[in-house]
Structure 1
């Protein structure tokens, strides 16, 4: 049998990474800060919550308002409204608003982090900012 020090370096690193991955997977089974417990208990109060988020474009700072309805930590409805200051922002906000429901409705709120919706990527920054505020407000 080979001693660990006699094993080639990639094998030792691979074994270490496998061990770390197992620990991380097991850590997900406990109650986390703001996350659901392993028993599946809801961590957010049911209801409808609204918040605003801002994001930077090359020309200006834009604002969107996000309204999310929660039931058992799942998003059951989402509405986004914007007040675009530039024609390009109006186009991208419209695309985002048209596609956001398909991305978030039916999902656990703790699993949401939107990066690009219907070709709009900057609007996502404002959405995620508003989402963080909503999660804080809805936390039990």
Structure 2
């Protein structure tokens, strides 16, 4: 096969381009770390942020919250109209250590779903940072989560 000088240059440039892309993609997936006083901090943007020494599981926003027990009502809309649910949360280092839900539904169906929700919520939120909570369906109750989230937002405001 006869090669022209232009074809040889094109082939060489393609080979160099492929090698450069392969080398750069290898760098992008590596986990680079800093040395010295920042040792152990990842520079990988998808890595979690460094946590406080006092509570390695607490987010910076959660650690700004005061420990204690807080209560609030949250509202949500059901097919029967506006409903509310009572929520009491105990916080330690911004982490939920206990939760209690009091069904307050006026409609019997809402009260039934709130009771189901109350029976399963602890397993969803205890041990988690309150600032990270965004509850959806719990124990078959799909609308009550909106009222719970509303109450959690009120509780976060109280704990600041």
**TM-score, normalisation: structure 1:** 0.73
Structure 1 runs (4+) deviating above 3 angstroms are 22-26, 28-31
Tell me what 1:88 maps to: 109
Pairs aligned (count):
122
The higher radius of gyration belongs to 2
1:92 Cα offset (Å): 0.4
Alignment of structure 1 residues 39-78 onto 2, 5 Å? 42-78=63-99
Question: What do the CA deviations read for 1:78-100 (whole angstroms, capped 9, x no partner)?
Answer: 11112211121111001001111
**TM-score, normalisation: structure 2:** 0.65
Q: How far apart, in 1, do the equivalents of 2:62 and 2:156 lie?
A: 16
SS at match of 2:141: coil
Does the Cα contact within 8 Å between 1:60 and 1:85 map onto a contact in 2?
A: no
CA RMSD, Structure 1 to Structure 2 (Å): 2.9
Structure 2 gaps, min length 5: 1-15, 30-43, 53-57
Structure 1 gaps, min length 5: 8-13
Q: Is 1:119–2:140 an aligned residue pair?
A: yes
